[in-house]
Amino acid sequence: MGSPSSNEDVELTWLNVALAFGFITFNVIFSYVFDLGVGVSLLVAATRCVVQLAIVGTLLQKVFETDSPWAVAGIAFLLNFMGTFEIVVNKSKKRHQNMFPSVLFSLLASTIPISIIGVRFAMSITKFWEPSQYIPVVGMLCGSTINGVVVSITYILKEMQENRDRVEMYLAFGASRTEACKPILVDALRIALTPTINQMSVLGIISIPGMMTGAILGGSSVERAAKLQMIIMFFLSASTALASICSAWYAISVVVDSDHRIRQDKIYSKSLYDFPFSLSSWGLSTIVGLWHRMRNAIRRTMRSVYKTWVGGFGKKDDRARSGSGAREERAGLLERGLSYEESPPLG
């Protein structure tokens, strides 16, 4: 006999999404009240979330219906490609020469083998390319790996620019570039892996993670959902470590050349279009330009809506401040001996 409280067949509509969007509105108000300056960023990020997930939901539904391993492979590559795009274009404040192909290789070399081996053996799924099983795993691996790659590369490039004296001293005393850069590499990888370690340490005691929650909401038993979450977390840890090692090692090989010289001219903090290695050779310069223009247009629209929406609050505050100022000015006039009629009227 089924439980009367079962919600397995509840259909979620865009109205439900709009109601949940109200929490973002609360964050925007919170940002305005405390002058955090992140209201527009929150609206842009929320809009991106809605658009991207809507597109992904439509696309994945088609892939699930086809049940083709080639379609699954295409989606896996697309996820890694877009993850690389996000790292190089949006996340990294510092970049190095040939960063895009190196990061793309690092992501593919970590997420694809670990997802195939893990789904086939750790999750005991014979048909590992099953879309409903494989694609979510690859997506989670890409999302977790992005953070580790960004942190490791950013740390290495920053240290090479700000603390190059220590590396130059090691090189001057005859150390190879591997020996001279090892302390920086170790620190970068330690920092990149710290969030994953912290996340694993609190699972089950402090937090119930998203994968386990989704499995429970999907009808799986709590025990199976817990085991599945353990497996996924081990996947994430391995993928983050492997991608961070590959990308960080390549970054060091670029910044310190084969002649053991530090090449700061290969580190860039400026616009992506000024790179000696232009993305035009990959056919991406047009896409990057369109993306930046679209993102700026969304930000301008959100900023105007935000200012219009919170403008009423600002006018009320101005009226309150002007009224308070008038009262203070009247009190000062009375203290100086002026009559009540001579004092300026309240606004």
- pLDDT in single tens digits along all 347 residues of the chain: 444 444 555 788 889 998 998 889 888 888 888 888 888 888 888 888 898 888 888 888 888 888 889 999 999 999 999 999 989 988 888 889 889 999 999 999 999 999 999 999 999 888 888 888 899 999 999 988 999 999 999 999 999 888 888 888 888 888 888 889 999 999 999 999 999 998 888 887 777 777 777 777 777 788 888 888 899 999 999 999 999 999 999 999 999 988 888 888 888 876 554 444 444 444 455 565 666 677 777 777 777 776 776 665 555 555 555 555 555 555 554 444 444 444 444 44
Q: What total of structural domains would you count in the chain? A: 2
Give the list of residues 6+ apart from residue 222 with CB closer than 8 angstroms, or none. Answer: 216
Any domain includes 119: yes
Same domain as 75, residue 158: yes
Please check whether residues 55 and 104 belong to one and the same domain.
Answer: no
Instruction: Indicate whether 46 and 167 sit together in one domain.
Output: no
Measured in residues, the chain has a length of: 347
Question: Do 28 and 107 fall within a single domain?
Answer: no
53 with 181, same domain? Answer: no
Cα(7)–Cα(219) distance, rounded to whole angstroms? 10
Same domain? 97 vs 32: no
Domain assignment present for 287: yes
CB under 8 A, 24+ apart: contacts of 201-207: 203/229, 203/233
**258 token code pair:** 């084969």
Judged by DSSP in three states, 339 sits in coil
Paired tokens of 242: 């492997």
Q: Is 167 inside a domain boundary? A: yes
pTM of the predicted model, to two decimals?
Answer: 0.72
> In whole angstroms, what is the distance from residue 113 CA to residue 76 CA?
11
Task: State whether 72 and 62 are in the same domain.
Answer: no
Q: What is residue 271's three-state secondary structure?
A: coil
Residue 196, H or E segment: helix 177-202
139 and 125 in one domain? Answer: yes
The verdict on residue 224 lying in a domain is no
Question: Quick one: 44 and 74 in the same domain?
Answer: no
Residue 338 lies in a domain: no
d(CA 285, CA 292): 11
Let me know if residue 247 belongs to a domain.
yes
Considering the domain architecture, whether residues 82 and 180 belong to the same structural domain is answered as yes
- What are the angstrom distances between the C-alpha of 142 and each of 26, 220, 300? 30, 24, 30
Say if CB 311 and CB 318 are below 8 A apart: no
Tell me the torsion sign for CA atoms 134, 135, 136, 142: positive
Whether 269 is covered by a domain: the verdict is: yes
Q: Nearest Cα to 331, choosing from 319, 309, 346?
A: 346
Cross-strand bridge partners of residue 207: 203
Provide the token pair at 55: 């597109």
Shared domain check, 181 and 105? yes
Residue 188 lies in a domain: yes
Domain boundary among 46, 66, 86: 66
Range of the domain at 121: 68-200+232-273+280-298
pLDDT at residue number 347: 44
Determine the Cα–Cα distance for residues 328 and 322; give it in Å rounded to an integer: 10
- Same domain? For 75 and 152 the reply is yes
With contact defined as beta carbons under 8 Å apart, do 268 and 274 qualify?
A: yes
